[in-house]
Amino acid sequence: MKKDPDTQLMLRFKKGDQYAFRMLYTGYKLKIINYCYRYCADREVAEELAQEVFLRVYNAAPKYKPQAKFSTWIFRIATNICLNERRSQKYSKKTESLDRPVNTPAEGRPRELKAPMSLDSAERIEFKEKEDLIRQSILTLPKKQRAAVLLRVYYDFSYREISRQLNTSEGDVKVLIHRGRRHLKKALQAYMQDD
């Protein structure tokens, strides 16, 4: 934890180094927005939630103690904000095109399904429809399952890191992810059988 460069930046910010906070903000802004977007499927809400995450990071500086990697800590804040968001009804009713991937810098890029350029236009449309169906299915997961699946599948956090972010045991995280994957498999089964 102490060797984590982002933890070192947060410790510098705790001592008053504003530039260290700007570096953390620059490094995590798109990652946090992407995570919030995948959770709620609304770009404007995701940006508002991400802003709240960084406000909490900023305000937490005086009391910050590195007990986990910085990425684990900030994603825990983001997860809590997403789980506590009261506008969940808005998320299920929002019908925004999810065709375009959310852009991030190369080193922080979450795994995105991208249509191979070799596909013809009909195949690309079908690919986009499948991608949209997967995203919509993720939104049907219960809150904690959705957070656990997103953190594991899109951001490659370990079960241990996810357990810290969700404030639960590693065993509970494994159950959440298992149930989430099972739910997704069932939700997508009829569509996938057509292939």
- The CATH number corresponding to 1-91+104-110 among 3.30.420.10, 1.10.1740.10, 3.60.21.10, 3.40.50.980 equals 1.10.1740.10
Q: What is the pLDDT of residues 43-91, one digit of tens each?
A: 899 999 999 999 999 999 999 999 889 999 999 999 999 988 754 444 4
Cα–Cα distance for residue pair 6/8, rounded to 1 Å: 5
Range with the poorest average pLDDT among 77-91, 100-114, 156-170: 100-114
- For residue 106, the 8-state DSSP code is G
Q: Which helix (H) or strand (E) holds 77?
A: helix 70-84
187 pLDDT higher than 90: no
Give the residue among 64, 72, 63, 57 at the shortest CA–CA distance from 24. Answer: 57
132 in Cβ contact with 114 (< 8 Å): no
Q: What is the CATH number of domain 114-195?
A: 1.10.10.10
Tell me the pLDDT tens digit for each residue of 140-150: 899 999 999 99
Residue spans of the domains in the chain: they are 1-91+104-110, 114-195
pLDDT above 70: residue 195: no
Which two structure tokens, joined as six digits, stand for 172? 């509970």
Average predicted confidence (pLDDT) for the chain: 81
Domains 1-91+104-110 and 114-195 share a fold: no
Q: Compare 16 and 101 and report the one with higher pLDDT.
A: 16
pLDDT at 96: 41
**Closest C-alpha among 48, 65, 61 to residue 17:** 61
pLDDT value of position 2: 63
CA quadruple 63, 7, 84, 183: dihedral, nearest 10 = -150
Is pTM beyond 0.75? Reply is no
